[in-house]
Structures are given as structure tokens and as C-alpha cells.
Structure 1
């Protein structure tokens, strides 16, 4: 008898459950309240199916049967009422969350709904807050990048126009025969070649910076000896230092190799040294040091520039920042892109770069991780 009741009750329960799942599948795009109501109805129907099975077997009859059916019916109505109340709360909380999202505008940030929310909706609200925070940071970076681009166009337009105007004047003088003596002609030719080399260097810097900003800088990392990197950088700028009357010093002890693109990282270090030479007065010194611990290699470039104003320290690596009001490039042809390029290259290596005032000048420092591949 018991097995027969269990079989009938289980069969009816499975049938009702299957019907309920089919209804929920059809209503999966509807309100949560409707779904909870369906769940409550399915629960009551399954319970009634069990009572019906018992009644069919004549275990309960007469007045007891009516009492059982009444109790089950009342319990079902109570369950349905509770389900509808919970559904209203969930729907109200969902609408509050939707209203908070719809209130977000370009001038207004996301404000989480007031009052408690169900745990799942609270998690969604926190995730939305974080997502909108990242979007806000992205917009701020985009605005800063757009401002830097406009500033770059203004600076480079000026820096290109000045040497082009000088070359045009010299070319016209040579073409018109205004300059005829061999010494002046040779000087004009040398000056034109110098300006062409300077413009070519500026174009190379612009191309490198555009690759960094576009995220298309491709690195070819391999084991690189930091001491060799410093030696190559100093050798490449030795002539510039002698012409300026600046002493160059390199201090590199036994340091583990780093896993990096030697050409790009060498360019970043060379840009820092050239910048230091450019701002160090005659008879000053530029010192390049290499230090390391178990996890990080530090390459520092110290100069005698007299220091950088505190309000400018945060802008040193910005595009076209020269630390001076005059836009006219110096004799070395700097376009204000070297430090921005150095930062992009270092960050592409998952490193960091910063600057602090120290001693008679300032100290730029590159920090690179010692990867397992390098060790």
C-alpha cells in the first residue's frame, strides 16, 4: 500500500514539476514575480496531488478528508501570498536598480539605490559601480590623451615650421645666387643637412610615440645585460656630452640580466641621458647607476639641472613637456617627446618610471622586474 501511494504521489509530482518547468521556460523573459507565483502554484499542486493519492486509496475519507484538503488549500494560499509578497519586493528592488542605472549621464556618476537590496542585486550594484568607475577613469584618460594630442600638434607644428622656414631661406639664397662664395655655400649645405637630420629624428619620435599610444609597439624580449645596456647608451651620447661640456659617469655592478627588448629599452635609457645632458650646465655631471635586489632592477639617471618645480613633477612625462615656457627647440633639436617615449617603452616592459628632486638636480629612475626567464 505504501509503495503504491509513493508511486502515485511521485508520478503526479514529476508530472506537475515537468509542467511547471515548461511554463517557467515559456515565461523566462517575464517578471520574477510571475516566476515565483508559478513556483508557489507548482508546490501547492504537488502537495494536493499527494492528498489526492491518499484519498483515492481510501486511507482518509469523510470529514477527515475535508479537513486535510482544507488545510492544504489554506497552506497553498498562504504560500502563494508569501511568494507574491517576495516577488513584489524583488521587482521593486530591481526597478530601483534600473532607475539608478538610467539616471547615469555624462555629468552624473552612478549612485547605488538607497535602502537594502537582495544579496544578488547588491552584488550587481557593486559590480555596476566598479564598471562605471572604470568607464569614468577611461573617459578621463581619453580626455587627457586628447589634450596631449592637441598640445603635441601645436608644439610639433611650431618645431617643424621653424627649421623648414630656415631651410627654405637658405635654399632660395643658393638658387638666386645671393650666396656665391664657397665657404658660405658649404656652411649652408651643412646647416641644411643638420636640419634634415633633426627633422628626421623628430619624425622618428612621432612615429614611435604613435605606436605606443596605439598599442602597436611590438617588443622582441630576450636576455639583456644591464651593464651592456648602460655602456651602449653612454657611448651613443658621448659626443653630445663633450660638446656641452658635461661629464658622463656610469656605475653598474654585478646585476642579473633582464628579459627585455634591448633596442627599445636602450632607446628609453638614452632618452633619459640626453634629457639630463640637455638640462645640465657646463662642467656639470650626469651619473647613470644600476642597482638591483632579488626582484627589481633599478636604472637611475642623476643630473645637475637644479631641480624641477614641484608643480611640474607630475607633468614631466607628458607629451611635449619641456619644463620651460619657450617653445623654440634647442640646438640638439629636442621636440619634448623623449620622456613620453621613455615612459611608454618602460610601461610596455611592465616596468615603472618616475622622477624626484635630489641633490643638485633630479633623478630619473626606471624599475624593471627580474623575470624567471632572466634568472
Structure 2
């Protein structure tokens, strides 16, 4: 149940700012940029600590730990009263920092907008549970302190103050809800503990007394100013009443007894009342011996143990069994810490630890031991009170199983495997003998398969083959239609006739059906049968619903993945078809373009040969030569476009390639076949690693870059220097020449297709297709790399290529 006092949500961190709108409908939303701002925010009004849910964003585990350390010093009440959510987006370390446990909910990603509401509810519920347990422990501490004082008075008693402390006390939280109550109160009134704990004090006060005695349950003051000797009439279970004399005082955090009125940061959390039956001094009852709370008194002086009635009921051990034993006798050896805390308790006076009590019959019980130190005269004692926490441990184990189930579901590839694994875990969590999962068709609200797990191994069934389905289908339809958990007695569904799986074992049982729902869509139902109605608890319902949500999310995930794979396969087929059509089109167009150009080139050569004697002027010679050159340039451009079209449509054929050999081959070929007196000198570093790349594409990449260096040379001596370095797992290749360079305003455009940023004073051989660097960029990106160019007029050009350093 969510506390009504929570009214606002605070998002801390710019990354969470976009999520603020998701909570604005139900809560007042505020946003802070930095973690440290939270301290001033709450210091200004500490009442806000109980009215806000706070979302934090952390990029590193160190930043999270630093914040927790600072908050524990400057604002410790933040962790006590405020539901906290941590959204962690950094790299998750192998070992999580313990500080992360300070948060009520932790996500290792940013939450989705649709999940904000559920996260807020979960954080509030969890914080409320922790707060309730903490309040109870503070009440217990108050009771223990009072008990020690009364025992001390009992041992040092004189004739004027001789009476025993009655086990009559109660503790209520700040809302007046009972957190704890003494056994004698229950005995006198006739109520069970379950009928009192969790109820408002007004339910056991005589109606005519309610307004007059409210102070006994809402007292905030402590010390001499607290409530004294107030007469309160309690209602008994048999509709009678009993009068009590009440002393009550407030309980505060962090101070309880040490000057709470002077502590500016104290927060009132409840009221503790000590009582006695009116006129009961003459009828003493020993609180220690008769209390049902398991307690022992251990003498540090002579090592003896005294047990009470509650401890004997809890463990089976009597005083006679333990008079010559020590407390580690009944603690399981690997969980025995009593003597480890003796040194600490002398200085700290109070401490707690968890242990496992081994009862006289050999059963094991997880327990919390609360130790208090007392000095009476010259002797020292430890008073130990044990509290059964088996239910808490069981709950933790159930949560761990749910987490593991969620993890397994997230890594399951088949729906059948998901259902089978989850059913096994759910059966053990819920402690049921029968569990079934009904799966619905996507388009219709009808069951198409059952997985049923009874006493034997689970099996899959067709509904048409099961009488079980015929009997239960109407109730299934109700759960699906209403989208809520429904309950029925076994007999009302299956009658007295025998059906598969349902025998006499379940005749007094109850059927629970929980729908599998995600985003208002029902995927199926989980069906469990308890042997009898008394086994069906609220905790069991919640576990069933949580398990249903996890399974539903897993089924939806698998169905979405299946649809995604299908769509990707269809898309891949369509892309291949379109790619094939495009390649065919490009080849056809290139053939149709190149054929007339080749013919035109031949005609230009024929004109030059046959009419050479008629060419008299330089202008005529230039025109004939330009015709031939323009045709050659057009053919080159078509070839470059064909190469460009193949990049990205053809898979890479990776192999181990020696870049040094590619560079040397180019230099030798150029210097051997060069036309004119251009001299090429390429200097490459000796330790150049081999690359696992497409050899043909990489040759084309270097060839285009070298061609540009030669084409845009500054002098006839072309110098190219090639170096490499490994940076963050990538190889960085630098190719630097001594050419004319490129103007700064042209640099962003050099990779654009058909763009030629040529310096002024260009010569004819500087003309190109404008596709070369576009091809270079495509090749680099196809290999998972990148390219950059640095240049300036007159200082040459440096091409920087980064490629993943794959190894074959």
C-alpha cells in the first residue's frame, strides 16, 4: 500500500529531465541538475523528506559511492524516509559497491517513460516496509531499555518499591498504527497479535473514551514532560473493557533518549506506552520469566545462562538444559557470533546480529539477536532477545528466485523453454502441488496450448484433449476479460467428477488464475491450486502476480523478436532484390553510355590521323586533342561510378594484407611507366602491421590517394610519407604529401561526389572525375573505419584513415 504522504517526484540529472513529464499527472514534479543540490533542497524543509520520491542518475559507480558517503554525513535522514531510485548508465563493474544498497530501486539503464509510475510505486512500497521494520526495531530498543531498568530495580529493590514490571506495553507509529504490543496486553484483552499489529489504536479504545485518551497514543514529548499516569479504558475481545494506567513518551530519529528535544534534526516516528492494570501492584508478574518474547540473561561474571518461558517455547531448551552451557551452544557453528560481539557491547551497550538457532529438536530458525549490556552492582550481564526472521529470509530467497527467473527468461530463445523453466521455479516459490500455464492465440482470446506441472514432470497438452480445459475455460475467460486475478473453490469448478490432475487431494482447495498481461494485452494465464484455502495468503497472491508479469514480459519479448527476425529476413530479401536490380541497371546504363563514347573516341583518332595535314593552327590541334581527352575523362568517370556503386553492395573479402607491399608495388609501377619527368618518392614506416581487410578495396583506396598527390603536385618531385599508430584498438594511418594543398573552405566538400576543389592556375592533367575521394571514404567506412583530411594552401595534404585492427 502506498503512503498517502508522498506527493512529489524529484529528478536529479539532465539525463532524467525528459522523463519528468511521465510523472506529472499524479505527482508534483521538480528537476535539479546536480546531486549536491539535493542537500540544500531538503535542508530548507525537512518535512519534504517524507513527501518526495527522488530519481538519481549516475555515470560511474565511484560517483554513486561518493554521493552516498556525503549524504550519510550531511543528510542521513534521506536514506531513512525518502524512497530513492538510482539510474546507472556507466560500465557495470564486476563487483558492485555496497553503497548501491542504500537505494530502494536500481536500474542499469535509463527507465522508459511508461515505466516511471510503476517504479515510483515499487520504491514507495519498499521504503515503507523498511521504515516499518526500523520503527519496530526502535520500539524494541525502547522496550529493552525499560526492561533493563526494571530488572535493575528488581535486583536492587527495597521494601518501599517492591513490585515486578508487568509485560504491558505498546508502540504505535506516527499515524497511530500498532507496531508492537506486549504479551500481557494481548492476554488481558483476549486478542491475538495479528488482530492488533497493523491496526489503528482507535479500534481497541472504548468509543466514549477516544477523544479523552488520544494523548496516550500521540505523545511526542519525552522525559519529565511526557504523559504520566493517564487512565485509559481498552476494549476486550469479549466486548467488555479493562482500565490501564498509561505512561507514554515519543520516539524520535536519530535521538531516542539522549536529549531529543535539543536535537534539531530529530523526527517523530511514534509513541511508546508503558501500562499497568489499574490496582495491579499487588499482583506482580515477572516480565522476564513469563514473557513470550524469547529471552536469555547471560552472566559475564560466572558464565551462566537463565532462559525465560518464551525462549523455551521458541527453542525447546529449558533452564535445566542450558544452565552450564554458553550462548554459542544453540547457535549454528558457522553462524555463531555471540562472543564476537562481547567486546563491542561493553562500549556500545547495544548491538544486533543475525544468526541461525538450532532448536532442541534439530530444526533451524533464522533469527535476529538483540543484545543489551547491564551492570548490576559488581556483576555484568548481557540480555539477549531473539526474533524469528525466517519469513524475511524466505522472502529474500523468493525475491532472489524471481530475479533469477527474470534473468533466465531474458536469455531464453524459445517460448516452450521459457514456460517450462519458469513453471519449475514458480512451483517452488508458491509451494503449490499443481501449476498450469495456458497460452492464448494472438488474434483470439482462446487457449491453444497448456503446460501442466503436477506431481510429475511437466507436459504440453492440446486443450481439445483435456476435460480439465472444458471445466475451467469459463473462469479463464473471466480472468482474461476482466484482466485480473480470480479465485474459485475447486469443487465449484470441477464438481465431484474426477478430471485429469484433480483428485481428492484438492477437494478442499482453491483455484487461483492470474492473467499474463503486458501493456494491457493478455498473452495467457497461470493457474495454481492450493490444497486448502488457509494456504492462500496475500504474499502468495503478490508472488503469483509478480511471476505472471515476468513471464508475460518474456513471452512478449520472444514474440517481438520472432516478428523482428521475420521482418529482417523479408527486408534482407527485398534489399538483395533491389541491389540486384540496381546493379543490373548500372551495368546496362554504363554499357549504353560507354559504347557510343568508345565509338566517338575512335572517330576522334581517325580524324586526327586522316586530316592531320589539314590541321594548320594551334587552335585546331587543341580542339581535336580536347575532344579525345573529354571522351577519355567521361569513360573514366563511368568506371569510377561503377566502382562506387559496387562498394556497399558487395561483401568484403577479408584477408591478411601487407600494406608495405601495396605501396612499393604502386611506386615501382609508377616510376617504371611514368610519362614525363615526374619523380615519385614514397617513404613508409618499417614496422607497418598487416591488416585483415579486403585486399582489392584497400589497393583502390591507396591508389586513389596517391593519384591525387601526383595530380595536385607542387613540383615535379612528389614526396609521400606514410606512418601508422595504434589508438584505442584501431590502426591510424597517416598519408602526407608535399603538394599544393587545399583551401580551408574546400575541406568540408572534398568527399562530395563530383566535387573538385582545384587551386587556381590548374593545368589540364589536374582534371578528374571528382569521385576518387568519395570512393576512398566509402571503402574506409565499409571496413568500419573513418577518414579525415588536414591541409592548407602550399603546405601539402595529410589524409588520416582509422581502421579497426582486426586479426585474421
Relative to the length of structure 1, the TM-score reads 0.51
Deviation at residue 364 of structure 1 after TM alignment = 0.8
Unpaired segments ≥5 residues, structure 1: 1-12, 54-67, 93-117, 136-145, 147-152
Deviation at residue 322 of structure 1 after TM alignment = 1.5
CA distance in 1, matches of 2:598, 2:677: 22
Instruction: Answer yes or no: is 1:368 the counterpart of 2:803.
Output: yes
CA distance in 2, matches of 1:291, 1:168: 49
Unpaired segments ≥5 residues, structure 2: 1-432, 447-472, 481-485, 498-507, 523-551, 572-581, 583-588
Instruction: Answer yes or no: is 1:290 the counterpart of 2:723.
Output: yes
CA distance in 2, matches of 1:240, 1:312: 32
Give the structure 2 partner of residue 280 of structure 1. Answer: 713
Name the one with the larger strand percent.
Answer: 2
Q: 2:477 aligns with which of 26, 38, 50?
A: 38
Q: 1:209 to 1:163 in 2, by over 3 A?
A: same
CA distance in 2, matches of 1:229, 1:329: 29
Q: 1:368 to 1:238 in 2, by over 3 A?
A: farther
The structure that has the greater radius of gyration is 2
Q: 1:322 to 1:256 in 2, by over 3 A?
A: same
Give the structure 1 partner of residue 641 of structure 2. Answer: 206
CA distance in 1, matches of 2:495, 2:693: 76
Instruction: Answer yes or no: is 1:317 the counterpart of 2:751.
Output: yes
Q: 1:179 aligns with which of 594, 607, 614?
A: 614
CA distance in 1, matches of 2:495, 2:603: 103
Q: Deviations along 1:282-308, whole A, 9 cap, x unmatched?
A: 267542313243844433222343344
Q: CA RMSD in A?
A: 6.1
Instruction: Answer yes or no: is 1:339 the counterpart of 2:753.
Output: no
Q: Deviations along 1:60-81, whole A, 9 cap, x unmatched?
A: xxxxxxxx9xxx9xx99xx99x
CA distance in 2, matches of 1:290, 1:267: 19
Deviation at residue 271 of structure 1 after TM alignment = 0.6
Q: 2:788 aligns with which of 343, 351, 355?
A: 355
Q: Deviations along 1:113-132, whole A, 9 cap, x unmatched?
A: xxxxx9789989x999xx9x
Q: 1:364 to 1:203 in 2, by over 3 A?
A: same
Deviation at residue 232 of structure 1 after TM alignment = 1.8
Give the structure 1 partner of residue 110 of structure 2. Answer: none
CA distance in 1, matches of 2:518, 2:667: 73
Deviation at residue 335 of structure 1 after TM alignment = 0.5
Give the structure 1 partner of residue 699 of structure 2. Answer: 266
SS in 2 for 1:293: strand
**What are the residue-to-residue correspondences of 1:1-375 with 2, within 5 Å?**
28-30=442-444, 38=477, 40=479, 44=488, 46=490, 48-49=492-493, 90=520, 171-172=606-607, 175=610, 179=614, 198=633, 200-213=635-648, 215-216=649-650, 219=653, 221-238=654-671, 243=676, 248-282=681-715, 285-293=718-726, 295-303=729-737, 304-309=739-744, 312-313=747-748, 315-323=749-757, 330-331=764-765, 333-348=767-782, 350-358=783-791, 360-373=795-808
Q: Does the 8 Å CA contact 2:786/2:802 hold for their aligned counterparts?
A: yes
CA distance in 1, matches of 2:518, 2:784: 53
CA distance in 1, matches of 2:681, 2:491: 90
Relative to the length of structure 2, the TM-score reads 0.27
Q: How many residues align?
A: 287
Q: 1:366 to 1:226 in 2, by over 3 A?
A: same
CA distance in 2, matches of 1:300, 1:321: 23
CA distance in 1, matches of 2:763, 2:553: 60
Q: Does the 8 Å CA contact 2:704/2:772 hold for their aligned counterparts?
A: yes
